[in-house]
Structure 1
Amino acid sequence: MNEQLQKRLNKVPDIILSDEFLNKNGLAGDLCFWIFDYAPEHELQVRDYLKFLDGMISDKHDALKVVHVNLLEDMITYLKDRKLLERAFDLQRKKGDAALIKAMKGPLHMDKFVPFLLKHHNIQSQNLVLFSGVGSVWPLLRAHNLLNSLHADLGHIPLVLFYPGEYTGKDLTLFNRIPSNNYYRAFKLISE
């Protein structure tokens, strides 16, 4: 277990469950999007922590409407619902990753996937939204595309993206190796 990361994770509940955070105080009209970045080699520690956080919120803050969106689980559900999951597996086996990525561009386009997420989790009626699984769905889904697509629908709801990589305050670098298109409309949840 990485102790420095654990100290940062232990600060998360006090921040995201505070009235100031949930009521978007001090944002001066900015979006309520936050990014908790971490070294990708600590992914399993963050996953364990998110399980703890989910349980703690449901036990101690049951009046608060919080949804945790695991992008991998939701992508699988979405593809199953559209009867595309097995076809995607077959395509990858027969023609490889590049063919799969090309074939999934249409079905996983944000104009289709974001409405699924909104409806599937009733996100627009939540007090807080937590996103994880970014690294597990790359390169089929990209964090900056997702966040940009959620602006119009969720700009008023606090959203925290747990990101396996670095967020400088304007640039995302997945796995500390793959730069994304600039994303500048989110705040860093907790600095190092």
Structure 2
Amino acid sequence: MAPAASALDQARSELAQREAVLRSRLADPDFLANRGLGNEVGIYLFCYDPALELEVRDLVGRLSRESEAGVLPCRLVERNLYDLLLGICDERRVSDAIPRMEAKRGTAALLDQLRKTASTDAFAKALDYGPHELGDVLLITGVGEVYPLLRTHALLDNIQHLFADIPLVVAYPGCYDGASMRLFAGAGNRGLEDGNYYRAFSLV
């Protein structure tokens, strides 16, 4: 059910406030250097109402362009999980077989097979890059596009050691309370339980 206009207006107002916080973090030397975390890994969830997915995609595009132009004092490295999934399937040479497999064996069987092909380890390898530089921020998008194939908490468990030296921000269409995640939660929608993860911080 689509959120009411008043609820959507409130979600947009909150997104504008969250954008302001995100921008201030991306310009904060302590944030960029992972300082002040008490030896924790700098993993942050930037939560937003899933009804505003297109607005968030536009925001990510603007931030990426500003980073490339030097307007932001950081190098924003965006990785979209759905694009990575397509790349993994191409690399394993299974992309052309996916429609036939789903038609023959069904969606559930296809998901089981894809979980073996595009495992959390495969996503971790696709996300990793190097060398990391001071001022890098990894921004992960496309969380909702790869659900239920890939669960956010499982991915973060697999990659936290790879990015201990730079901040990692997950654009998350849902809610996070510091322990549990609810994907697609927003105005008037409780969303779906998406597992527990205790090592991340809410960006806002």
Give the Cα separation in 2 of the matches to 1:27 and 1:110: 26
2:60 to 50, 55, 60: 50
Task: Give the % identical residues.
Answer: 30
1:59 and 1:6 map into 2 onto residues whose CA distance is: 22
Larger displacement relative to structure 2 (37-46 or 85-94): 85-94
Matched residue pairs, number?
187
In structure 2, the partner of 1:161 is 170
Paired residue secondary structure (1:49): helix
* Counterpart selection for 2:195 from 172, 175, 181: 181
Matches within 5 A, 1:29-40: 29-40=39-50
Corresponding letter in the other structure for 1:125 = H
- 1:175 maps to a residue whose letter is F
The secondary structure found in structure 2 opposite 1:48 is helix
Superimposed CA distance per residue, residues 115-139 of structure 1 (whole angstroms, 9 cap, x where no aligned partner): 1221xxx255242100010000111
* Partner of residue 160 from structure 2, selected from 148, 151, 167: 151
Map residues 63-102 of structure 1 onto 2, 5 A cutoff. 64-102=74-112
What letter is aligned with 1:189? L
User: Counterpart of 1:23?
Assistant: 33
Mapped partners of 1:165, 1:133: distance in 2: 12
Deviation, structure 1 residue 90: 2.0
- Point out where structure 2 has 5 or more consecutive residues left out of the alignment: 1-8, 186-190
Following superposition, the deviation at residue 181 of structure 1 comes to 2.1
Q: Is the 8 A contact 1:131 1:161 kept in 2?
A: yes
C-alpha distance in 1, partners of 2:90/2:145?
A: 17
Structure 2 distance, partners of 1:88, 1:29, is 43
Distance in 1 of aligned mates of 2:23 and 2:73 = 15
Alignment match, 2:132: 125
C-alpha distance in structure 2 between counterparts of 1:88 and 1:10, whole Å: 41
The residue type equivalent to 2:32 in the other structure is: L
Give the stretch that moved more between structures: 14-23 or 84-93.
Answer: 84-93
1:145 shift after superposition: 0.8
Unaligned 5+ segments in structure 1 are: none
The CA deviation string for residues 41-83 of structure 1, in whole angstroms up to 9 with x for no partner, is 1111111110011001111258743310011111111111211
Distance in 2 between the 1:117 and 1:172 partners?
21
Partner residue of 1:135? 144
Q: What CA distance in whole angstroms lies between the structure 2 residues aligned with 1:187 and 1:72?
A: 24
